[in-house]
Chains A and B, each alone.
Chain A
Amino acid sequence: MSLESAVPAGPARPGAIAWAAQQRVLIALAALIAFGALRYDHFLGAYNVLSVLRYNSMFALTSLGMAFVIMTAGIDLSVGTTAACASVVSALLSSYGLVPGLLGGLGVGVAVGAINGFMVTRMRILPFIATLAGMLMASGTGLLLAHNQSVSVSYDTAFIWLGQGDVLGFPVPAWIALAAYVYGSVVLNFTSFGRYVLAVGGGEDASRLMGLPVDRVVFWTYVQSGVFAGLAGVILAAQFGAGQPAEGVGWELFSIAAVVVGGTLLTGGVGSVATTLAGVLLLGLIFNVLNFENGLGWISLSAYWQSVVRGVFLMAVVMAGSGAARRALRTA
């Protein structure tokens, strides 16, 4: 379901090195899984796999929205606090049932996304600044609504099924994330909107001169990012049984990292939905592996050290890729 599959390989595709650079995130992911499977007994066990999927589905959603925004050469710093605010709103509405809770969370996402999009396209505020404002607004609103404490969800309705339920043996959040990625991949590769996203990111002036609805495209990427963040917030509330206004800190950085590791250029114009998912799983599994490593008892890494390791890993993957790509370009 990658971009490349939509465009069948011609005779003059990039060479093996360039291919490896493109696929580096998949290679790194495979290597990490192999490492974990060989080293730890229960790494590939159902319990571990399902809990990794259940937990990381939230980051998968925020990263997907982020990927589209970054492909337009923008950035969305508000995804984490939008999720937090959405978790509060959906928790408050959860007593009315699954659907009101879900819609409440999505509504928060639409609202924050629309504000971000408005600031970026109409007021011409830099995305970094605009979404920083969106981030603060969402955070403040969540804390206000929750009176600065977590809001328990209602267990009388089906709401918690969104976070804790299973379908065909897989967690509901993982199904939601999967559906979102299928949607994202189809939109990116097989709709005009998807192509405009990449065109705008690759050359905004050129896109304008070609008559593309640049502002509308950019606006909707922010709304879409808000919706996915809102959905992540709903899952957060349903999974942990409470709306958590103080959660979401650093989610935006996780998402940006996942998108970049997934080979999407921060400068826009190039990106893929499938490798973004691989980026999310890669970063999520590094955490998982470190936990297993702690479990072995040889060493004990604190949460702080886990961050350091994750950062080093991120740097290594990105550098390995850019080095290989440079060499490939030179010989091309």
Chain B
Amino acid sequence: MPTSAPLLVMRDIEKRFQGVHALAKASLEVQPAEIMALVGQNGAGKSTLIKVLTGAYGRDAGSIDFSGRPIAFASPQEAQRGGISTIYQEINLVPFRSVTENIFLGRERRRFGLLDWSRMNAEAADLLRRFDIAIDVRRPLMDYSTAIQQMVAIARAVSFKAQLVIMDEPTSSLDEREVEVLFDVMRRLRAEGVAVVFITHRLDELYQVCDRVTVMRDGRTIATRPMAEVDKLHLIAAMLGRDVEAVRGHATGFTAAAGPAGDEVLSAEGLRIGRRVRDSRLDVRAGQIVGLAGLLGSGRTETARAIFGADPPDAGSIRLMGKAITPREPADAIAMGVGYCSEDRKADGIVPDMSVRENLTLAILPRLVAMGVVDEGRQRAIVEKFMKRLAIKASGPEQKIRELSGGNQQKVLLARWLCADPKLLILDEPTRGIDVGAKAEIQSLIRELADQGLGVLMISSELEEIVEGADRVFVLSDGRTVADLPHAQASARAIMAAMAHEDAAATGEVARG
């Protein structure tokens, strides 16, 4: 049990939005030099609590003490100056500007009144080297991967001499090696006396790096325990507010396939796309969920986009529904009965200000148009059917989609393709950023759809999802298909071994070169 004076004490925090309690009796206590996990389903109040702490929101009741003094920050900037830095899930940097600028914006180094670029570049490079990142800091941020951008954001936050660093799902766009680097950084911060609040949906990660965990549910703090004293099952149970017995057995909502696979719907061979994909191969049959596993950057999404015609391949052959065809644009693939839910719902999927109805029928709109006018009756019938079938929770078809939770947005996107009656559905990270309950729901929905004869190609970074959900697994590593495993052999160990094998070879090449 911690004995020193706590660094942060938030007590009985209340926050209402239009009379509705977002936070009621929420609390959070963090010791100096400790990594505190903050978990809970979407809507549990984690983000709201953090926003109250950093001054993004005001609070209706409760007290906050930081470093032994009561505080009430008026803005995140004030919190940052006060020693609390936040790293957001969506990277809040300026992509056009250089890495150096993104680190130093707001506190530039000057010499003779003008900016001292050589000093700032050198300091930025030094700072990133602490994080084991060696990049050209003068290039625009957008030239680098999401992972590097995330690390730059963290480097920026850390360089503010923060006593407390809040990381709101920083790992959702990182691959496993990058997550390891991030954890090293977190441990190093702890060694330097900095406290970290770590918010994540990936429960496995908590055990690797956190000292204690605070669980929130429905705007309340349910429990705070040392990490070593709670197992994963009890953690999930606490988050869901369900009995342990009810969640035992399955970590996901997937069940076994109902019957044997049907005809081939997709076969891809020898795909080569740019530099990322060198030789990938895939087969999907009707009624089958095929998992596509691989680390970030292994070419999973690129392969999927090629099959969908979004980025036509440089080489290789694709067969859709038994017909040799290379889609040149998505419309070709859609006409063949292919649907694609991208990994980035916000950027590529939803049109935030449009209603559920409009979002849902976007892909089939051409078919609903008679003489230039949308047949609203038919549209409404389709929307109602799918909202019911997928149990989409919205106030009605006219609610704006951006007001829905992540899980319900994803369901609308699924429905968008389902109403076009596809033969093959490509799902890129179908449950990313979705809370545990909705996740299981979407997973069982995917299985149900496959059992009804749909071929599903599912890309996922979560091994559990691939291991439990996929009837067949292809593993990509460094742009090549390195393994093709039937469900029975697709254990987490086997998949990781397949990824690791190719990694070892690649490292060897570098060493020799």
Q: What is A's interface to B at a CB cutoff of 8 Å?
A: 6-8, 10-13, 186, 189-192, 195-196, 198-199, 201-203, 205-207, 209-212, 269-270
B105 neighbours in A (Cβ, 8 Å): 195-196, 199, 207, 210, 212
Whether B106 and A212, one on each chain, are in contact in the complex, defined by CB atoms closer than 8 angstroms, is yes
9 more CB-based (< 8 A) A-B contacts, given A6-B117, A199-B94:
A12-B139, A189-B115, A192-B108, A206-B93, A209-B92, A210-B106, A210-B156, A212-B105, A269-B96
B117 neighbours in A (Cβ, 8 Å): 6-7, 190
In the complex with contacts A12-B136, A192-B108, A207-B105, A198-B114 CB distance below 8 A: no
Whether A195 and B97, one on each chain, are in contact in the complex, defined by CB atoms closer than 8 angstroms, is yes
Whether A10 and B94, one on each chain, are in contact in the complex, defined by CB atoms closer than 8 angstroms, is no
Measured in the bound complex, the distance between the Cα atoms of B138 and A6 in whole Å is 10
B95 sits at the interface (CB 8 A): yes
A196 neighbours in B (Cβ, 8 Å): 105
Would you list 30 pairs from A and B whose C-beta atoms are within 8 A, ordered by A residue? Answer: A7-B98, A8-B138, A10-B136, A10-B139, A13-B139, A190-B114, A190-B117, A191-B114, A192-B108, A195-B108, A198-B94, A199-B97, A199-B105, A202-B94, A202-B95, A203-B93, A206-B92, A207-B105, A209-B76, A209-B88, A209-B92, A210-B92, A211-B75, A211-B76, A211-B106, A212-B105, A212-B106, A269-B95, A269-B97, A270-B96
B139 neighbours in A (Cβ, 8 Å): 10, 12-13
Measured in the bound complex, the distance between the Cα atoms of B98 and A268 in whole Å is 15
B80 neighbours in A (Cβ, 8 Å): 211
Checking A186, A206, A210, A270 against B114 with a beta-carbon cut-off of 8 angstroms, the contacting residue is: A186
B92 to chain A, nearest CB (A): 4
Chain A: CB-nearest residue to B91: A206
A6 neighbours in B (Cβ, 8 Å): 117
8 A Cβ contacts from B420-440 to A: none
B355 sits at the interface (CB 8 A): no
Contact with A along B89-124 (1 / 0, CB 8 A): 000111111100100011010100011010001000
8 A Cβ contacts from B125-162 to A: 136, 138-139, 143, 156
8 A Cβ contacts from B31-82 to A: 75-77, 80-81
Whether B96 and A202, one on each chain, are in contact in the complex, defined by CB atoms closer than 8 angstroms, is yes
8 A Cβ contacts from B197-223 to A: none
Whether A211 and B77, one on each chain, are in contact in the complex, defined by CB atoms closer than 8 angstroms, is yes
B257 to chain A, nearest CB (A): 40
Chain A: CB-nearest residue to B160: A211
A270 neighbours in B (Cβ, 8 Å): 96
Chain B: CB-nearest residue to A203: B94
Whether A195 and B114, one on each chain, are in contact in the complex, defined by CB atoms closer than 8 angstroms, is no
Whether B115 and A190, one on each chain, are in contact in the complex, defined by CB atoms closer than 8 angstroms, is yes
Q: Which of A186, A189, A190, A270 has the most CB of B within 10 A?
A: A190
Q: Which of B81, B88, B105 has the most CB of A within 10 A?
A: B105
Chain A: CB-nearest residue to B101: A195
Measured in the bound complex, the distance between the Cα atoms of B96 and A212 in whole Å is 16
Contact with A along B214-235 (1 / 0, CB 8 A): 0000000000000000000000
B96 neighbours in A (Cβ, 8 Å): 198, 201-202, 269-270
In the complex with contacts A192-B115, A195-B108, A210-B106, A7-B94 CB distance below 8 A: no
Measured in the bound complex, the distance between the Cα atoms of B143 and A211 in whole Å is 24
A3 to chain B, nearest CB (A): 10
Chain A: CB-nearest residue to B135: A12
Nearest first, the 9 A-B pairs at minimum CB distance are: A211-B77, A202-B94, A190-B114, A202-B96, A269-B96, A10-B136, A206-B92, A203-B94, A7-B138
A8 neighbours in B (Cβ, 8 Å): 138
A202 neighbours in B (Cβ, 8 Å): 94-97
Checking B76, B97, B115 against A191 with a beta-carbon cut-off of 8 angstroms, the contacting residue is: B115
In the complex with contacts A190-B115, A210-B105, A11-B94 CB distance below 8 A: no
B188 to chain A, nearest CB (A): 23
Whether B101 and A199, one on each chain, are in contact in the complex, defined by CB atoms closer than 8 angstroms, is yes
Whether A207 and B115, one on each chain, are in contact in the complex, defined by CB atoms closer than 8 angstroms, is no
Chain A: CB-nearest residue to B110: A192
Checking B94, B98, B108, B115 against A206 with a beta-carbon cut-off of 8 angstroms, the contacting residue is: B94
8 A Cβ contacts from B316-337 to A: none
A144 to chain B, nearest CB (A): 42
Whether A10 and B138, one on each chain, are in contact in the complex, defined by CB atoms closer than 8 angstroms, is yes
Measured in the bound complex, the distance between the Cα atoms of B114 and A189 in whole Å is 9
Measured in the bound complex, the distance between the Cα atoms of B115 and A190 in whole Å is 5
Q: Which of B75, B96, B108, B136 has the most CB of A within 10 A?
A: B96
A198 neighbours in B (Cβ, 8 Å): 94, 96-97, 101
Q: Which of A201, A211, A212 has the most CB of B within 10 A?
A: A211
Measured in the bound complex, the distance between the Cα atoms of B80 and A7 in whole Å is 29
Whether A203 and B92, one on each chain, are in contact in the complex, defined by CB atoms closer than 8 angstroms, is yes
Q: Which of B76, B88, B98, B138 has the most CB of A within 10 A?
A: B138
Whether A205 and B92, one on each chain, are in contact in the complex, defined by CB atoms closer than 8 angstroms, is yes
A203 neighbours in B (Cβ, 8 Å): 92-95
A92 to chain B, nearest CB (A): 37
A10 neighbours in B (Cβ, 8 Å): 136, 138-139
B136 neighbours in A (Cβ, 8 Å): 10-12
A189 neighbours in B (Cβ, 8 Å): 115
Measured in the bound complex, the distance between the Cα atoms of B104 and A191 in whole Å is 12
Measured in the bound complex, the distance between the Cα atoms of B100 and A195 in whole Å is 11
A7 neighbours in B (Cβ, 8 Å): 98, 117, 121, 138
B297 to chain A, nearest CB (A): 16
A192 neighbours in B (Cβ, 8 Å): 108, 110, 115
Measured in the bound complex, the distance between the Cα atoms of B98 and A269 in whole Å is 11
A269 neighbours in B (Cβ, 8 Å): 94-97
Chain B: CB-nearest residue to A10: B136
Measured in the bound complex, the distance between the Cα atoms of B98 and A198 in whole Å is 11
A212 neighbours in B (Cβ, 8 Å): 105-106
B143 neighbours in A (Cβ, 8 Å): 12
B76 neighbours in A (Cβ, 8 Å): 209, 211
Measured in the bound complex, the distance between the Cα atoms of B75 and A190 in whole Å is 28
Chain B: CB-nearest residue to A200: B94
A196 to chain B, nearest CB (A): 7
Q: Which of B93, B97, B143 has the most CB of A within 10 A?
A: B97
Measured in the bound complex, the distance between the Cα atoms of B139 and A272 in whole Å is 16
Chain A: CB-nearest residue to B141: A202
B75 neighbours in A (Cβ, 8 Å): 211
Chain B: CB-nearest residue to A213: B106
